[in-house]
Chain A
Amino acid sequence: MTFPYLSALLFLPLCGAVVVALLGRRRSDAIRWTGLAASLAALGVAAVVFLRFASGTAGMQFEERAVWVPAAGISYHVGVDGISLPLVLLTAVIMPLALLSSWTSVTERVKEFTVSMLVLQTALLGTFLSLDLVLFYVFWDAVLVPMYFIIGLWGGSRRAYAAFKFILYTMAGSALMLVAIISLYLQSGPAGARSFDLLALRDVVVPMPLQAWLFGAFALAFAIKVPVWPLHTWLPDAHTEAPTAGSVVLAAVLLKMGTYGFLRFLLPLFPEATRQFAPLFAILAVIGILYGGAVSWAQSDMKRLVAMSSVSHLGFVTLGAFALTVEALQGSLLQMVNHGISTGGLFLLVGVLYDRTHSRLMADYGGVAALMPRFAVVATIIMLSSMALPGTNGFVGEFLILLGAFRVAPIYVVFAVGGVILSAVYLLWMYQRVMHGPVVVAARPRVVEITSRELLIFVPLILLIFGIGLYPAPLLQRSEASVRALLERVEARR
């Protein structure tokens, strides 16, 4: 019996949440440190999993399986492969940073906040690790409640509206997925021999009209989460109103649940339907890339700008997922991580400014670079990563996606490249208005250089930006075998 790494990873944050819940509510510092320690412990386990992960193996590793509800064919089955590993690691990296970022900005109900964040982490990790569809759904839906409270309780002025919109929108999408999960189970064999196990269900051939319906139900849930244009309308509100830590987790990790769902469930479970509908998703993705970019350009609120830019960036990820080539899929997977790092970073940058002036409007800023030189350097690096400049992580991901998609249909790439240009336009435009120009006098006394704690949050992000940008091999090597196996599966059933 080997050490259950994945269960340890999964439940460490939850145990942390229990400990925090037992601490006295006035002991804010003890609560913050406990929360951070729990998420760092999870990061440690995730790092061990990453290092001990065998590259070149397509199958599941670190698998654990236990009976959960035998009567209904549900089991506790977790495992990690090249597709889930990057996202597990991303979650583990982002969570401690998000907690650090709220160190001074969340001062009310610190205990509830920390508990919500830790529960959220367990739910997110569970989503990426589950290999049983019901277990997956449980974690998938369990993400909603803590996130709902994070937006609704610590968010901006329209937080209640944003929180309800977030949860109702995403629940409506996932409700039909539950029906589809059960229908898939019923297809898996005669009564008594059915299972919710993903690895078993991959081999079930669902007849066509039904397969398209089930594909649709899963795709709707995922597309809302990503979000794929035109299902993105919940996103600007949720991201803008959420507190910084909430926006970071939303952008960096929650949206990836959708794109991960494409790769983990849609492609292997419904290969015929995937091939049939791939062009539709590619077109929606390209529209999203351009639309998100254009709308970002029109924003006056920095947080809204970053939020809308996610629609554009996730468009690339979606395009990569449905291009169905090895390069594009690997790029898509890498770009999920990259977007987590760069957009998470952008939200953190806005959070730093917001903590000082309590304004998110670009008009209220100017000449910040003169007052906060160190901050300006950090901001430059993260923006360049988001623009996918060569040498940064974003370039590797977007390049692979465009390369892979070009092989299938150059026309998509012709339009998608417009998104790359747009991202340079809106980001540099924001940079110029906030960082350069005359110093806005009203804000001056409060705009002080970032503290060491704030800088500490950005250091790992900057290291990752250049690390992945210059040497992406450790990630790509680990994911390649799984991606190839996935594509073979999609192609095999013709």
Chain B
Amino acid sequence: MTPSVADLRALWPELIVAGAALVIMVWGTFMVQDRQSPLRWATTLALIAALSETLALGADARALFGGMYSRDAAALVLQTIALGGAVMAVWLSGDYVERTRLEAGEFYALVLVAALGTMVMAAGSDLIMIFLGLETLSIPLYVLAAYARDDLRSQEAGMKYFLLGAFSSVFFLYGIALIYGVTGSTSLVRLGAVAASDSIMLRIGIGLLLIGLAFKAAVVPFHAWAPDVYEGAPLPVTAYMSVIAKVGAFAALLRVFPGTLGAQTAQWAGALALLSILTMVLGNFAALLQTNLKRLLAYSSIAHTGFMMIGVAAGTRQGAWGVAFYLFAYTFMTLGAFAVLLMLERRGEEADQITDLTGLASRSPSLAAAMAVCMVSLAGLPPTAGFIAKFYVFAAALDAGQTALAVLGVLASVVSAYFYLRVAYTMFTGEPQGDVSFAGGRWVAAALAVAVIGVLALGVFPAPVTAFVQQLGQALR
């Protein structure tokens, strides 16, 4: 079966990103070290072009490529988040990779390929497509985690991520195999049609899919890789990874669970709710003990995975679009926090200890204020994006009758206030550390500004983005 021209036209955003990745990789090899900033521009332009093309194509319910792919509203919303996050991540990376002499075509190419993977996961309506997306997302991230070639921690992070990641991919693949065994197809539509059957093999298959995705999203108990990898990977890579992998994993979770198995909510909601609770509790309590900011943000990202799982476990449309809104909020607030870290360095190295922030407010009030906004949002306090996001998922859980889940969620959120506000508090007290200096230039500052404006805009005027993500709810089911 040859794809029609219409099918290819619907693939424009993916083609732009893939083409740009190839061009930039080759172009980078012809550039002199230290003068590679045009690559940043090119990557940014490619991502923005893909983003505007995604928005221009809009939502289209037709099945493409024989039902393998769909450019529906779910793809529209999730690809928008992925591409927006990727643009910000590129801005975050630029100064850092230049400073550490890591800048090269392949860095940006890997960033683009990972974004492509998430886009495919967002739009895949066939398990094989989702798997391809998953691998396209993961492999560049393994390489990026180990990107600091002289740094042993980075090497270790890459290795760890790769080994555990490959393991989880196998789970996912085995899940597909079992499902194929029952349904004779890898199509999600087909899976939804036979899901009512009481086949044990089908259930195991779906469980294995869940494990594979739970690993990518860092859901407890499949989270063990996250703190070490976050800590070891170069800072901008950590930032990018924390967002792009999350968007990809939740895109697939939404497609498979509320999207395909929506009629069988009762059978899986309990398991997902349990995972959500474990993730929230462990993520938030472990974060209390951290002194390293990268590790703190790693546990924070685990904790937020738990909050997002609430929306998936609700199993409703509202839960699904709540997760999408949460991803928007999470992207802004997490990248904002990383942007602040990227604007600091300690003797030429990453300033990644909480104590490095001591007295920051007296040296740079605006930087401290920006970090405070991000921390307040991560803690889920109004009037920020984090509050509205949590509000939506809690409301979805209550609407679905999952009262215990919502209650535990709000209580976990109270625990989180302690460690986020401790970071904010540190910045406003004490004497600045002598060996911490400012780094990072206009690119990082621009990303930070976008993040902070995003956090506040989503918190104060959530209506437009809410309307946008609600389309996703209509697309699923």
Interface residues in chain A, defined as those with a beta carbon under 8 Å from any beta carbon in chain B: 25, 67-72, 109, 111-112, 134, 137-139, 141-142, 144-145, 148-149, 152-153, 160, 163-164, 167-168, 171-172, 175-176, 178-179, 182-183, 185-186
Contacts and interface: CB of A to CB of B under 8 A. Distances in A.
Contact of A71 (B413, B425, B470): B470
B407 A70 contact: no
Given A149-B428, A186-B399, A142 B394 contact: no
A138 B382 contact: yes
B403 interface: yes
A265 B428 CA distance: 36
Contacts of B417: 167-168, 171
B264 interface: no
Interface stretch (B200-208, B327-335, B440-448, B460-468): B460-468
Contacts of B470: 71
Contacts of B422: 164
A172 B406 contact: no
A179 B376 CA distance: 20
B398 interface: yes
Chain A binding surface SS class:
helix
Given A111-B365, A112-B361, A164-B418, 10 more contacts: A25-B365, A72-B392, A109-B362, A138-B387, A139-B382, A141-B381, A144-B381, A168-B417, A172-B411, A176-B407
A72 B428 CA distance: 36
Nearest to B470: A71
Contact of B406 (A111, A168, A182): A182
A67 B463 contact: yes
21 contacts: A69-B462, A69-B463, A70-B463, A71-B470, A72-B392, A72-B466, A137-B382, A141-B382, A152-B428, A152-B429, A163-B425, A164-B418, A164-B422, A167-B421, A172-B411, A172-B414, A175-B413, A176-B411, A178-B394, A179-B406, A182-B391
A182 B394 contact: yes
A167 B382 CA distance: 14
Contacts of B388: 69
Contacts of B381: 141-142, 144-145
A282 to B, nearest CB: 28
Given A145-B376, A183-B398, A176 B410 contact: yes
Contacts of A153: 428-429
Contacts of A175: 410-411, 413-414
Interface in B229-247: none
Contacts of A152: 425, 428-429
Nearest to A70: B463
Contacts of B395: 72, 182, 185
B400 to A, nearest CB: 10
Nearest to B425: A152
A142 B466 contact: no
Interface in B370-426: 376, 381-383, 387-388, 391-392, 394-395, 398-399, 403, 406-407, 410-411, 413-414, 417-418, 421-422, 425
A131 B406 CA distance: 24
Contacts of A176: 407, 410-411
A134 B391 contact: yes
B425 A160 contact: yes
A71 B398 contact: no
A168 B421 CA distance: 10
Nearest to B392: A72
Contacts of A160: 425, 429
A148 B421 contact: yes
Contacts of B398: 179, 182-183, 186
B466 A69 contact: yes
Given A112-B428, A163-B425, A138 B466 contact: no
A148 B417 CA distance: 11
Contacts of B410: 175-176, 178-179
Nearest to B429: A153
Nearest to B415: A168
B113 to A, nearest CB: 35
Nearest to A159: B429
A152 B376 CA distance: 15
B91 to A, nearest CB: 25
B466 to A, nearest CB: 5
B388 to A, nearest CB: 8
Contacts of A139: 382
Contacts of A138: 382-383, 387
A145 B383 CA distance: 10
Nearest to A164: B418
A172 B408 CA distance: 11
Interface in B447-467: 462-463, 466-467
B196 to A, nearest CB: 25
A111 B428 CA distance: 13
Given A112-B428, A141-B382, A145-B376, A178 B391 contact: yes
A141 B411 contact: no
Contact of A179 (B407, B462, B463, B466): B407
Contacts of B421: 148, 164, 167
B358 to A, nearest CB: 13
A183 B399 CA distance: 8
A201 to B, nearest CB: 15
A484 to B, nearest CB: 34
A179 B403 contact: yes
Interface in B105-138: none
A144 B388 CA distance: 17
B319 to A, nearest CB: 13
B463 A68 contact: yes
The 3 closest A-B pairs by CB, nearest first: A175-B410, A138-B382, A171-B414
Nearest to A191: B399
Contact of A141 (B387, B425, B428, B467): B387
A70 B461 CA distance: 11
Which has the most chain A C-beta neighbours within 10 Å: B362, B398, B466?
B398
Nearest to A144: B381
B418 A168 contact: yes
A136 to B, nearest CB: 11
Contacts of B382: 137-139, 141-142
Contacts of A178: 391, 394, 410
A178 B392 CA distance: 11
Nearest to B381: A141
Nearest to B369: A21
A142 B383 contact: yes
A212 to B, nearest CB: 14
Contacts of B362: 109
A148 B421 CA distance: 9
Given A168-B417, A171-B417, A175-B411, A71 B387 contact: no
Contacts of B376: 145
B407 A71 contact: no
Nearest to A152: B425
Interface in B27-64: none
Contact of B394 (A68, A145, A164, A179): A179
A69 B398 CA distance: 19
B387 to A, nearest CB: 7
Contacts of B407: 176, 179
B429 to A, nearest CB: 7
A182 B410 CA distance: 12
Given A138-B382, A172-B411, A175-B414, A71 B394 contact: no
Contacts of A164: 418, 421-422
Nearest to A153: B428
